[in-house]
């Protein structure tokens, strides 16, 4: 399959490259990164370009790699009047996302207590397969979580007003409807609120060295306001509940496709018209799972604050632990864009991609409306993460989207063959990163060598202008599922 | 005959594998075991609990999907790793009744690996071969 360069950082696969492509596919990458895109990216994004109602183009971010259905790093917008919705364009882990917390602490204050802190976090935050949650819920309360997300946390003492104001959609998708969710999904997730899960999910303590603050004017507005400041990132999703919602609707959509006369190139791309009973039910159920994920990260953040209070003997206010922002990177949202000179409402699917709104978007909290949305990008546990800011150019080129992480280049099994979990833990310790993990093989699967270079993928979106660098976050402590 | 073989070349963040069986029963047992092995070292699991499973679908391929999906579901809903399966097919292979044995999840005892989130339909395939049956499966990790 042939791609050609449209301009610096943009590569296009024209619709004549595969039968059935309705729009071109674009891969956003530097010269260096385009060569490392695997064949699955090309196969999968051109399949996405065949879906009914797709608008303008199918897109892959620089961290893109071979997934199922959409590639990871895939973005596509569909007309809400005659386009589709596809669970395979969102992923099973609905609203997997990342939250960033800032603190008043500095490296000097935290370093002597690092082991105590990580051990404490590892003890109080359930991780790994089968981890039972921090909050006990009956069916009615679980439905409240589905309906209200972080609003439920606010009403029940797990969140502050400031948290609620610092989350994509306030962590509260208002179109959630628990009647669209199966008993099976409830059974699978009811005991998991406040659990990290496994795989690439993590809770990381990071330092922001002064020389890695790239935008010194903007950084204080995102709470980065002192040298060697300590921040945290929490990366997890909707756990078994969201996984089951997606599984249920994949089956519903597989059956419904015939009814709507739809065919797809990959069964994982099963879809239904957005404006159909099945499409609407999934959109409402997806919102339940997304709210559950926002609440999950909130409950974990609440427990993190308590742990810090305990270890440092200071109050939450003295420690200044507050949410910078919380972004979803597996989700579909109704948003409006100018397409061919006219305003159009589209359903933007982001699978392993982050919203990257520029200034003046109404959906941003008032304190960020003048500057743009904070974009939090989780790198591998050895190389660090980034805080970026969204841009107007993203609104024009990528339906307000950017990358979500480093992007894998090596399979999990290969990573395990390359390094042992306990050796990696030791290496990281020597490099100044204290890590605790629920699974040693799981730790090895997440080694830095299994990922693209985070600096390269970030530079690609920065140079392209779909988001801009604010600061790099260097890991010093980590708990892994 | 191999029971199953992991395939590193596909969907690199996830777990892809081929499962084999001389009979459909054997294929289902091996595909189920491969799914469990993504989550835990089966040698560390004692099969001291039993789950009765009954499933139906409109094709053998969809029944295999339901079967693997059930193993993933029970991991969260019943907090159990399943390693030992006895399966019988009814209604022309459109229904199955199984006894699945395993152990409640115990992080102190079990060699836990990764959480399987779901069974994907990406390139999902079940086919009859000269030697019996073969399936291709990608699990979301």
Q: What mean pLDDT is predicted for residues A149-168?
A: 98
Q: What mean pLDDT is predicted for residues B64-76?
A: 97
Contacts of A186 in chain B (CB under 8 A): none
Q: Which domain range does residue B92 map to?
A: 4-140
**Per-residue model confidence as pLDDT tens digits over A350-396:** 999 999 999 999 999 999 999 999 999 999 999 999 999 999 999 99
- Are the C-beta atoms of A101 and A322 separated by less than 8 Å? yes
| Cβ distance of B14 and A266 shorter than 8 Å | no
pLDDT band of residue B10 (cuts 50, 70, 90) is confident
The CATH number linked to B64 is: 3.55.10.10
User: Which residues, listed in sequence order, are joined to residue B97 by a DSSP beta bridge?
Assistant: B54, B88
Cβ-Cβ pairs closer than 8 A, A with B, add up to 127
Residues A75, A71: Cα–Cα separation, whole Å: 9
Its CATH class, for the domain covering A4-409+451-480, is: alpha beta
Residues A248, A282: Cα–Cα separation, whole Å: 9
pLDDT for A312? 98
**Per-residue model confidence as pLDDT tens digits over B74-96:** 999 999 999 999 999 999 899 99
pLDDT for A352? 98
**Per-residue model confidence as pLDDT tens digits over A74-109:** 999 999 999 999 999 999 999 999 999 999 999 999
Q: What mean pLDDT is predicted for residues A145-158?
A: 98
In the predicted model, what is the mean pLDDT of chain A?
A: 96
- Are the C-beta atoms of A373 and A51 separated by less than 8 Å? no
Angle at the Cα of A241 (from B116 to A144), degrees rounded to 5? 165
B112 contact A CB<8A: yes
**Per-residue model confidence as pLDDT tens digits over A180-237:** 999 999 999 999 999 999 989 999 999 999 999 999 999 999 999 999 999 999 999 9
Look-up: residue for tokens 């892994």? A480
Contacts of A70 in chain B (CB under 8 A): none
pLDDT for A134? 86
Q: What mean pLDDT is predicted for residues A27-33?
A: 97
pLDDT for A285? 98
| Cβ distance of A246 and B105 shorter than 8 Å | no
pLDDT for A460? 98
| Cβ distance of A240 and B113 shorter than 8 Å | no
pLDDT band of residue A305 (cuts 50, 70, 90) is very high
Q: What mean pLDDT is predicted for residues B44-69?
A: 97
| Cβ distance of B141 and A412 shorter than 8 Å | yes
Q: Which residues of A332-353 are buried (b: 16+ CB within 10 A; e: fewer)?
A: bbebebeeeeeebebbbbbbbb
pLDDT for A8? 96
**Per-residue model confidence as pLDDT tens digits over A49-69:** 999 999 999 999 999 999 999
Q: Measure the CA dihedral A429/A435/A438/A443, to 10°.
A: -60
Contacts of A408 (CB under 8 A, 6+ apart): A65, A72, A450, A451, A452, B12, B13
Residues A85, A89: Cα–Cα separation, whole Å: 8
- Are the C-beta atoms of A407 and A380 separated by less than 8 Å? no
Quick check: A419 pLDDT over 90?
A: yes
Q: Is A404 a catalytic residue?
A: yes
- Nearest by CB to B114, which of A67, A88, A442? A442
Contacts of B11 in chain A (CB under 8 A): 40, 66-68
DSSP of A264-284: -SSGGG--EETTSHHHHHHHH
Quick check: A464 pLDDT over 80?
A: yes
Radius of gyration of chain A (CA): 21
| Beta strands, E only, A280-341 | 322-328, 330-339
Residues A340, A398: Cα–Cα separation, whole Å: 14
DSSP letter, residue A207: E
pLDDT for B104? 96
pLDDT for A120? 97
- Return the sign of the alpha-carbon dihedral for residues B84, B88, B92, B95: negative
End-to-end CA distance of chain A: 38
Residues A79, A65: Cα–Cα separation, whole Å: 26
Chain centroid to Cα A179, Å, comes to 26
- Nearest by CB to B122, which of A239, A246, A268? A268
Contacts of B112 in chain A (CB under 8 A): 128-130, 438-439, 442
**Coil, helix or strand for B42?**
helix
Quick check: A481 pLDDT over 90?
A: no
Contacts of A411 in chain B (CB under 8 A): 8-9, 12-13
**Per-residue model confidence as pLDDT tens digits over A228-265:** 999 999 999 999 999 999 999 999 999 999 999 999 99
What total number of domains does chain B contain? 1
DSSP letter, residue A120: H
- Are the C-beta atoms of A267 and A283 separated by less than 8 Å? no
Chain centroid to Cα A182, Å, comes to 25
State the nearest Cα–Cα gap between B32 and chain A, in angstroms.
17
pLDDT for A461? 98
Q: What mean pLDDT is predicted for residues B28-50?
A: 97
Q: Which residues of B120-138 are buried (b: 16+ CB within 10 A; e: fewer)?
A: bbbbbebeeeeeebbbbbb
Quick check: B11 pLDDT over 90?
A: no
B79 contact A CB<8A: yes
**Coil, helix or strand for B89?**
strand
**Coil, helix or strand for B81?**
strand
| Cβ distance of A68 and B105 shorter than 8 Å | no
| Cβ distance of B114 and A412 shorter than 8 Å | yes
- Are the C-beta atoms of A334 and A345 separated by less than 8 Å? yes
Q: What mean pLDDT is predicted for residues A306-320?
A: 97
Residues A51, A328: Cα–Cα separation, whole Å: 23
Q: What percent of chain B has pLDDT over 70?
A: 100
- Nearest by CB to A72, which of B8, B13, B118? B13
pLDDT band of residue A299 (cuts 50, 70, 90) is very high
Q: What mean pLDDT is predicted for residues A324-335?
A: 98
Q: What mean pLDDT is predicted for residues A320-328?
A: 98
Query: Where along chain A do its domains lie?
Result: 4-409+451-480
Query: What is the complex's ipTM, to 2 decimals?
Result: 0.96
List the single residue in A with minimal CA-CA distance to B80. A130
Look-up: residue for tokens 């929490």? A234
- Are the C-beta atoms of A203 and A196 separated by less than 8 Å? yes
Residues A199, B102: Cα–Cα separation, whole Å: 23
Residues A65, A205: Cα–Cα separation, whole Å: 27
Burial label for B54, CB within 10 Å (0-12, 13-18, 19+), is exposed
């Amino acid at each position: 399959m042939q791609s050609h360069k449209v301009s610096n950082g943009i590569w296009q696969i024209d619709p004549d490259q595969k039968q059935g492509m309705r729009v071109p596919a674009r891969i956003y990458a530097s010269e260096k990164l385009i060569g490392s895109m695997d064949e699955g990216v090309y196969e999968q994004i051109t399949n996405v370009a065949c879906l009914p109602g797709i608008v303008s183009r199918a897109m892959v971010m620089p961290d893109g790699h071979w997934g199922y259905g959409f590639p990871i790093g895939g973005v596509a917008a569909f007309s809400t009047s005659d386009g589709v919705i596809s669970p395979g364009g969102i992923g099973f882990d609905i609203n997997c996302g990342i939250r960033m917390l800032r603190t008043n602490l500095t490296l000097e204050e935290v370093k002597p207590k690092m082991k105590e802190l990580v051990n404490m976090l590892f003890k109080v935050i359930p991780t790994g397969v089968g981890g039972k949650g921090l909050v006990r819920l009956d069916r009615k309360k679980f439905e409240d979580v589905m309906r209200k997300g972080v609003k439920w946390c606010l009403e029940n003492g797990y969140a502050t007003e400031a948290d609620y104001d610092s989350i994509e959609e306030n962590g509260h998708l208002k179109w959630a409807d628990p009647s669209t969710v199966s008993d099976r999904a409830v059974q699978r997730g009811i005991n998991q609120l406040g659990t990290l899960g496994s795989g690439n999910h993590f809770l990381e303590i990071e330092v922001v060295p002064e020389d890695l603050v790239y935008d010194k004017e903007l950084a204080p507005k995102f709470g980065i306001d002192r040298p060697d400041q300590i921040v945290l990132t929490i990366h997890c999703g909707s756990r078994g509940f969201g996984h089951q919602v997606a599984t249920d609707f994949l089956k519903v959509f597989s059956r419904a496709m015939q009814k709507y006369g739809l065919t797809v190139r990959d069964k994982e791309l099963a879809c239904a018209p957005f404006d159909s009973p099945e499409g609407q039910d999934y959109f409402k159920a997806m919102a339940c799972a997304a709210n559950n994920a926002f609440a999950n990260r909130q409950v974990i953040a609440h427990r993190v604050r308590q742990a810090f209070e305990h270890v440092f003997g200071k109050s939450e206010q003295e420690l200044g632990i507050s949410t910078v922002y919380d972004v979803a990177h597996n989700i579909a949202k109704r948003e409006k864009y100018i397409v061919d000179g006219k305003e159009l409402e589209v359903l933007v699917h982001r699978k392993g991609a982050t919203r990257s709104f520029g200034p003046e978007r109404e959906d941003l909290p008032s304190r960020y409306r003048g500057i743009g949305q904070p974009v939090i990008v989780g790198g591998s546990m050895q190389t660090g993460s980034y805080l970026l800011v969204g841009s107007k150019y993203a609104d024009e080129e990528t339906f307000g989207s950017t990358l979500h992480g480093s992007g894998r280049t090596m399979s999990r099994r290969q990573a395990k063959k390359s390094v042992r979990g306990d050796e990696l833990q030791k290496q990281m310790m020597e490099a100044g990163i204290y890590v605790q993990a629920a699974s040693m093989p799981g730790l090895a699967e997440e080694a830095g060598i299994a990922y693209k270079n985070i600096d390269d993928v970030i530079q690609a979106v920065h140079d392209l202008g779909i988001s801009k660098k604010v600061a790099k976050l260097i890991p010093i402590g980590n708990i892994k599922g | 005959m191999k029971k199953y073989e992991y395939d590193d070349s596909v969907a690199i963040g996830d777990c892809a594998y081929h499962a084999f069986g001389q009979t459909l029963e054997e294929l289902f047992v091996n595909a189920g075991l491969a799914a469990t092995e993504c989550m835990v070292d089966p040698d560390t699991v004692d099969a001291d609990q039993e789950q009765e499973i009954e499933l139906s679908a409109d094709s053998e391929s969809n029944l295999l999907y339901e079967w693997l999906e059930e193993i993933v579901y029970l991991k969260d809903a019943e907090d159990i790793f399943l390693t030992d399966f006895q399966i019988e097919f009814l209604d022309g292979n459109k229904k199955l009744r199984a006894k699945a044995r395993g152990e409640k999840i115990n992080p102190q005892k079990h060699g836990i690996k990764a959480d399987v989130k779901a069974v994907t339909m990406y390139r999902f395939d079940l086919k009859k071969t000269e030697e019996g049956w073969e399936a291709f499966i990608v699990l979301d990790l």
